[in-house]
Amino acid sequence: MGFERNIVAALKSRANGDISEESWALRESFFASWQLHLTLYSGEGGVDVYAHWERSRRRHPWKHLDNVGFNAKKGVQMTRSRFANRGVRIEPEWS
């Protein structure tokens, strides 16, 4: 799907204390201004995917850290579309 492992991403945790398992990013190029960032958690019978659209840390490290342009809704929409176009089944349906 074009994503690359994002090994330098900060660990994230959910309200229930679960710690993220993996982080992946999709960029148009190595120094692209924006990235689609996915954070994966172990879920019941599958993988829970959290997505957001944000400035790339490679091109805009301070804007990235300050969440300038951060957009979770856009990230979810982009991920849903990308997964659907490749036949990935999504349960439950995201909102």
Q: In one letter, which amino acid is 23?
A: S
Q: How confident is the model at residue 8 (pLDDT cuts 50, 70, 90)?
A: confident
Residue 91 placed within a domain: no
Q: What is the CB neighbour count within 10 angstroms for residue 78? A: 16
Residue 95 placed within a domain: no
Give me the number of domains the chain comprises: 1
Helix (H, G, I), strand (E, B) or coil at 9: coil
pLDDT tens figures, 31-67: 999 999 999 998 888 888 999 999 999 999 999 999 9
Q: What is the pTM of this model?
A: 0.86
Residue 53 placed within a domain: yes
Residue 75 placed within a domain: yes
Domain that holds residue 71: 4-85
Could you tell me where the beta strands, DSSP code E, fall in the chain? Answer: 4-5, 22-26, 34-43, 46-55
Q: Provide the percentage of residues in the chain whose pLDDT is more than 90.
A: 61
The pLDDT, as a whole number, for residue 38 is 95
